[in-house]
Amino acid sequence: EKYLSENAYLNYSMYVIMDRALPFIGDGLKPVQRRIVYAMSELGLNASAKFKKSARTVGDVLGKYHPHGDIACYVAMVLMAQPFSYRYPLVDGQGNWGAPDDPKSFAAMRYTESRLSKYSELLLSELGQGTADWVPNFDGTLQEPKMLPARLPNILL
């Protein structure tokens, strides 16, 4: 019985590392990052769109694609908006998104606004052209891309 529980724990640990903690080589994104970018594109938040409250994006991500903690989702979004965390930020943020000397000093999601950066649009530009595999979301009511058809090697940038 001890062997079974150890094996189950090891299997779960490997699943978490491989499926959630490491970026996927195809598009360079972790699942939560991919879901944030995709949800923002579904909300019409492209680089030329009007900014929208970050809480709206986080709510869509949680409700439709990623039923985990709202703070963890927002922190992932914050990192994608910080130019000192990403060489090419995926999210264009308005408001307090932290500072290089204190990256965790960002404002709550109800105070910040966001939209996709121009760089993100390179990850999404070929999405509707049959270039991505689609999988059901967590409750089977929607489809989400398994990976984004990145035109650039995002994992290297």
Catalytic residue among 9, 12, 15, 111: 111
Sign of the CA dihedral running 77, 40, 147, 138: positive
The CA distance from 15 to 19, in Å, is 6
The CA distance from 103 to 100, in Å, is 5
Measured between alpha carbons, how far is residue 3 from residues 53, 79, 113 in Å? 48, 39, 49
**Other CB atoms closer than 10 Å to residue 85's CB: what's the count?**
14
**111 flagged as catalytic:** yes
The CA distance from 55 to 57, in Å, is 5
Q: Which are the catalytic amino acids?
A: 111
